Structure 1
Amino acid sequence: MKTPASPSLPMALPAAIQMAPEASAWQCTQLEREAVLRNVGAAALLPVLPPVGRGNGRAVLVVPGGGFLFVAVDNEGLPVAQRLAEAGYAAFVLVYRTQPTDVDDRAFQRALPLAWQRLAEQVAADGDLAAHGPAVDDTRTAMRWLRTHAADFAFDPARLGVLGFSAGARCGRALVAQAAPADMPDSLALIYGGFAGTVPRSPVPPLFLAQAADDPLFDRRHPDILDDWRRAGQRAELHLYERGGHGFGLRTQDATSDHWFDAYRAWLDRQ
């Protein structure tokens, strides 16, 4: 299946993998700093694989953020997957179903500031951002699909981790709170996804957390997720950076949060 045309994406999209009978469909919109995919009607995977003969037999499902309004493949998807592939990991960027937004790009962009304000208000009031059910379902489906087809991509189905950003991190948290054992990742990394309480099912994966303290979508009151993992008897590593804001991805900001990926790689290699 061919990827829908996305000429405004600075990084070319790899051929999409369709996990369900519905054809993948989305709208590409250029924001100020990045291109995003929105109005996603059916989930798909974008594979970024290591060079032939350089794979390490492991894989990571990368779940970008976007407040469930879009999928930030240009900031938190393909560049991250490329870094993982260069390190030997088979990486798969999940384009999950999003909430419907105005098909007119300018109207969508005008509405974004208010949408972000409402998300910040929700976090302030509830301590977290509610996960979008279809996106969580797509994350679970992607885990099942990848494990079924692991041999096609030369990785061990038992060595499949999840790396989620913002809304994608909420999908990862919801996944481990709901998943059957066969759907559970072997490692879980949550990047600026908050610390809200999450009681994981067994087998509990080791956890990596990276968060900027000045993130406007970060509730600072309760680092409950660390206690949840401690009670489950599993390892957790936390990196709380002084600065970085929200949605920094791999962007360089002259802050210590610029180095989160190196810390994640060092942690992931040891799992």
Structure 2
Amino acid sequence: MALCKTSLKTVLIDLSGTLHIENTITAGAIEALNKLRDTNVRVKFVTNTTKESRRCLHERLTDLGFAIRPDEIWSSLWVARDVVASRGLRPLLLVDDAAVEDFAGARSEGEHDSVVVGLAPDKFNYAQLNKAFRVLLSGAPLIAIHEGRYYKRLDGLALGPGPFVRALEYATGCKAEVVGKPSAAFFESALGGFRPEEAVMIGDDVKDDVDGAQRVGIRGILVKTGKYREGDEAKISPAPSQVCADFAQAVAVLLEELQ
């Protein structure tokens, strides 16, 4: 999936695990992003982060020192919001309280007619999951903002929403509609008019970031930060186009291409 030096026009960048881990910035990430912005390529941040609204996420990234505009963040949380709004659903939201504001305006009257699942550690208990189970038994749709298996925190890897989505699927016999990475529709919408061969995706998740992107023709660069585990690059086919130590090294590779 190699690209010629003049074909790169947009860079899609994962956030958590790639640019930062909680409130710790990965080595050289701010400087590398600034260098990338000095080129003519468009930058877009594509994230499955669901623990906070886009407003809160943008404020946190800005406080960390990243120069990022809110409209540059393409969030699976917002895609889920659009799905709920376009269908006029009354969802049971298994999302973190800090993310609920992104669903402002969703219908709330009457019984729940759908279940939306994001990363919500405080909601992944028997009472809440059983409530979702009962809604789904009526034939309501299960919308997974994403199905991440785990993510990286400062204290180590932690379970993502994927295992809980799978539990609900198993118990009810339904199949979740996944709206975030690695869905093809998510990546295609993130391109914003650019062709896949004009784009590259940089991320720490070999499945959701790299494999998801490469399945729609976007070159994928895997970074060894965040949730990366030794040997991840061998778990997908085709393999990542490049494996880099971190985001800063990935940007250095792209800057060489753009010379």
Q: The TM-score by the shorter chain falls in which range? A: 0.3 to 0.5
Query: Which TM-score applies when normalising by structure 2?
Result: 0.38
Report which structure shows greater RCO (CA 8 Å, sep ≥6).
2
Query: Which TM-score applies when normalising by structure 1?
Result: 0.37
Larger Rg: 2
Structure number with higher helix proportion = 2
